Amino acid sequence: MAKANIHPDYHFINVQMTDGTVFQTRSTYGKEGDTLALDIDPTSHPAWTGGNARLLDQGGRVAQFNKRFGGLSLTKK
C-alpha cells in the first residue's frame, strides 16, 4: 500500500553566492523562484580558499601536546 503525496515539492530556486553571482538549481527550499542567499560558500570559506593553512602548519594534536609537554617524563626517578 503506497502512500500518496509524501514527497516534498521539488522546484527551481535561485542561489546567490557571497560575491553576488546567482545560479539556478532544483531544491525543496522555499517556493518556485525563491532566492537562497548564502552566508558561506566555496568562494569565501577558508577550507576552500586556503585561509586555514596556518592551522595545518602547526601540526596535529599530538604534535601540539609534545610541543607543550615534551619535557615531562612519566618515569619514576
Task: Kindly report, residue by residue over 22-74, the tens digit of the pLDDT.
Answer: 999 999 999 999 999 998 888 887 777 776 555 555 567 877 788 888 777 66
Q: Report the pLDDT value the prediction gives residue 58, as an integer from 0 to 100.
A: 58
Residue 12, C-beta contacts closer than 8 angstroms, at least 6 positions apart: 24, 25, 26, 27, 32, 33
Q: Are 23 and 4 in contact (CB under 8 A)?
A: no
Nearest CA among 27, 23, 22, 30 for reference residue 12? 27
Say whether pTM exceeds 0.75: no
The phi and psi torsions of 20 (rounded to 5 degrees) equal 100, -10
